[in-house]
Amino acid sequence: MSQSDWTAVDAYLVEALQAPDPVLEQALADSAAAGLPAINVAPNQGKLLQLLAQTQGARRILEIGTLGGYSTIWLGRALPPNGRLISLEYEARHAEVARGNLARAGLAKQVEVRVGRGVDLLPDLAGEAPFDFTFIDADKASNPDYFAWALKLSKPGSLIVVDNVVRGGGVTDAKGDANIQGIRRMMQMIAAEPRVTATAVQTVGSKGWDGFCLIRVVT
Ligand code: SAH
Ligand code: DHB
Ligand code: MG
């Protein structure tokens, strides 16, 4: 079993359980037309993020790594009417595409995309915290910083989800590149952090072999 099988099964699952969504499809089309890389979450992963945020009853959501706003739309739609999502993006060009996609999704009022390096923008978010749900999905080398900030900006009961913690199996390479080192150091931090309880699961699908780490803030 490999990529073509995983893609076929994802196509089946999405077709079986998820209605066609012109707004999300246009978001991907506009992202591609603007030359953004197709490294958004898969449709069934987006729905998973949405279900998790809904289960949280999330009113404040933080995302690190907006790209064209695809995962942002999934999460923004989990918000109640008075809810708010802040998404951080380094590339102004990506943020511009995302803002267009979010406006088309009717989320312009509830979602704010801030442009800059995650590590530079996170210290400014104390006034918006605590976040009920955080999705970490930017440069993987910075994951230790992102986890530390997400924890600081959380409260007991908050959920933090980290994308791409498996990287086609690369996470097991103790001598891996800066991205792998970032994931592995974050894992060590999580393991040593008494305020959280966490697990990680591998995924295969249309976006390849990867995984999510789920971290619940306990105290
Ligand atoms: N969450 C998106 C995908 C994000 S891809 C989705 O699933 O639809 C990762 C994004 O992180 C890219 O847009 C990239 O420009 C951005 N990024 C890279 N380095 C960053 C940094 N230091 N701070 C904030 N964003 C960064
Ligand atoms: C990459 C980043 C992602 O967030 C992702 O989901 C897949 C790939 C990357 O930088 O290659
Ligand atoms: Mg990702």
Task: Return d(Cα 162, Cα 137) in angstroms, integer.
Answer: 6
Any ligand 2 atom below 6 A from CB of 164:
yes
The residue contributing the CA closest to ligand 2 atom 6 is 39
Percent of the chain clearing pLDDT 90 (strictly above): 100
Q: Is residue 185 a contact partner of residue 162, using CB atoms and an 8 Å limit?
A: no
Q: Could you check whether the bond before residue 156 is cis, i.e. omega within 30 degrees of 0?
A: no
Is the pTM above the cut of 0.75?
yes
Q: Quick one: average pLDDT of 33-49? A: 98
Tell me, what CATH number does 198's domain have?
A: 3.40.50.150
How many CB atoms are closer than 10 A to CB 156?
Answer: 10
CA–centroid distance, residue 136 to ligand 2 (Å)? 11
CA–centroid distance, residue 36 to ligand 3 (Å)? 13
CA 9, 140, 39, 20 dihedral sign is: positive
Band (pLDDT 50/70/90 cuts) for residue 109 is: very high
Any ligand 1 atom below 6 A from CB of 71:
yes
Rg of the chain on CA atoms, in Å:
16
Any ligand 1 atom below 6 A from CB of 40:
yes
CA–centroid distance, residue 41 to ligand 1 (Å)? 12
- Where do runs of H (alpha helix) occur along 92-142? 92-104, 118-121
User: What are the pLDDT digits (tens) for 58-103?
Assistant: 999 999 999 999 999 999 999 999 999 999 999 999 999 999 999 9
Q: What is the pLDDT, as a whole number, of residue 219?
A: 94
Q: What is the pLDDT, as a whole number, of residue 158?
A: 98
Band (pLDDT 50/70/90 cuts) for residue 1 is: confident
Q: Which atom of ligand 1 is nearest to the CA of 91?
A: 15
Any ligand 1 atom below 6 A from CB of 139:
yes
For residue 212, pLDDT beyond 90 = yes
Query: What is the DSSP code (8-state) at residue 49?
Result: H
Any ligand 2 atom below 6 A from CB of 145:
no
Which of 93, 97, 143, 135 lies closest to 119 in space, CA to CA?
143
State the pairing for strand pair 159-163/196-205: unpaired
Any ligand 1 atom below 6 A from CB of 177:
no
User: What are the pLDDT digits (tens) for 16-31?
Assistant: 999 999 999 999 999 9
For residue 116, pLDDT beyond 90 = yes
Percent of the chain clearing pLDDT 70 (strictly above): 100
Any ligand 2 atom below 6 A from CB of 39:
yes
Distance between the two ends of the chain, CA-based, in angstroms? Answer: 42
Q: What is the pLDDT, as a whole number, of residue 118?
A: 98
CA angle at residue 40 from 52 to 115, to 5 degrees?
95
| CA of 70, nearest ligand number | 1
Number of domains in the chain: 1
For residue 108, pLDDT beyond 90 = yes
Q: Quick one: average pLDDT of 100-121? A: 98
Residue 77 domain boundaries: 3-217
CA–centroid distance, residue 40 to ligand 3 (Å)? 6
The residue contributing the CA closest to ligand 2 atom 2 is 39
Q: Which atom of ligand 1 is nearest to the CA of 63?
A: 1
Q: What is the pLDDT, as a whole number, of residue 152?
A: 98
